Amino acid sequence: MFRLMAMMLMVILSGCFGSGGSGGNGSSSGTNPPSDCQDCVIKAVRVEGNYVSYPYVGDIWTTTWADDDNLYMVFGDGTGKNGCFPTLILDELDVFDTDYIEVSPGCYTTDNLQNEYCQVFDCSTCLPLCLYTPAGLVTLKGDVPDFSPCQGPDQCVTKHHVPYGDMRIHEHQDKPSGIISIMGRLYLHMHYPAGVPEYGYLAYSDNHGKDWTIVENSPWGKTSKFKVMMFINMGKDYSLRKDDFLYALGMTEEFKDNPLPQSIYLARVPITRYQLNGEEIDPVIDYDAYR
């Protein structure tokens, strides 16, 4: 479990990515660009200034700035909250609860100093339980970095178990890869299982993450370069784009051990929606439109 860190990054131009190739499954092999590549984009990234730490439990924390001026952040393997012990099922004993000691109604502590939560956060006082999820969505409002405090039992969490909204999330332990807001619609790339995924797919939301629609029949299986995909954000609701394409970085694995380097593939897809036989077509959710 990790603290969420909001930080300013400076991107220095002129680096290299392999090509995603043609076809929606991203299966074409990339080539190494020459050292004097004129089309290379990103050379390095560095942290500018101090970061601000928010004690929300989870990892990944990929982020987008939406049309309603809020930041939407998807996280994995956590609660998306602070000041509470994670539990798998609320109001029922489960494998997460073996370390917890109820010292008063609804308030717990632990004497296990190796408890993962206590290795990061203060466990000196009793805490309530809160729902763990393999994938959740947090909404932050207000000015960066002084976001408005979140009230209520769910704190800043808008959705648990994204994109299903129920316990189906535990069948494959789906994890988020990327999120982006374009013209008021949130798009999400998911993959499973964690680490060395076998499958990637898309989902989208038209009500700022409260409900999600999974885009079925993804071709991004075992041999695809797009099983893990991180969208490249370009300002609020993608308003700073230079053309009418969405760009994304694809990988075959979530991470490598040790760590070992792996190839990264640049993909793009048109974002302009159009009418066909009276139906609105959104190319961002058309797997075959990715190149």
- Dihedrals φ, ψ of 285, to 5°? -105, 20
Q: How far apart are CA 57 and CA 118, in angstroms?
A: 11
* Same domain membership, residue 133 and residue 6: yes
The answer, yes or no, to whether residue 21 has pLDDT greater than 70, is: no
Q: Which of 70, 94, 127 is the last residue of a domain?
A: 127
CA-CA-CA-CA torsion sign (31, 35, 39, 44): positive
87 and 94 in contact (C-beta within 8 Å)?
yes
Q: What is the mean pLDDT of residues 177-186?
A: 98
Sign of CA dihedral 54, 55, 59, 61: negative
Query: pTM for this one?
Result: 0.83
Question: Do both 115 and 38 map to the same domain?
Answer: no
Do 106 and 146 fall within a single domain?
no
Q: Which residues contact 160 (CB under 8 A, 6 or more apart)?
A: 80, 131, 133, 136
Domain stops at, among 127, 157, 184: 127
Q: Do 12 and 58 reside in the same domain of the chain? A: yes
The verdict on 207 and 197 lying in the same domain is yes
Per residue in 80-132, pLDDT (tens digit) is 999 999 998 887 777 777 889 999 999 999 988 788 788 888 888 999 999 99
**Pick from 127, 160, 191: which residue ends a domain?**
127
Locate tokens 């466990």: which residue? 123
Kindly state whether residues 111 and 234 are assigned to the same domain: no
What is the model's pLDDT at position 2? 35
Looking at residue 6, what DSSP letter applies? E
CA 44, CA 170: separation in Å to the nearest integer?
36
Checking if the pLDDT of 9 tops 90, the result is: no
Average pLDDT over residues 46-63: 83
The CATH number of residue 61's host domain is 2.115.10
CA atoms of 264 and 253, how far apart (whole Å): 10
For residue 134, give both structure tokens.
């393999």
Listed range (45-59, 196-210, 271-285) with the worst mean pLDDT: 45-59
* Structure confidence by residue, pLDDT tens digits, 211-245: 999 999 999 998 999 999 999 999 999 999 999 99
The per-residue pLDDT for 71 is 96
Q: How confident is the model at residue 201 (pLDDT cuts 50, 70, 90)?
A: very high
Same domain, 37 and 74: yes
pLDDT given for residue 6 in this prediction: 34
Query: Quick one: pLDDT at residue 43?
Result: 62
The total domain count for the chain is 2
Same domain, 66 and 107: no
Instruction: Please indicate, yes or no, whether residues 138 and 30 belong to a single structural domain of this protein.
Output: yes
Q: Region 150-170: what's the mean pLDDT?
A: 94
- Asked which of 93-102, 110-119, 158-167, 251-260 is least confident by mean pLDDT, the reply is 251-260
Mean pLDDT computed over every residue of the chain: 84
On whether both 201 and 282 belong to a single domain, the answer is: yes
pLDDT at residue 175 above 50? Answer: yes
Supply the DSSP string of 130-196, one letter for each residue. Answer: EE-EEEEEEEE-BSSSSBPPP-STTTTEEESSTTTTSTTHHHHT-EEEEEEEETTEEEEEEEESSSS
Specify whether 72 is located in the same domain as 99: no
Domain that residue 112 falls in: 85-127
Q: Are residues 64 and 169 in the same domain?
A: yes
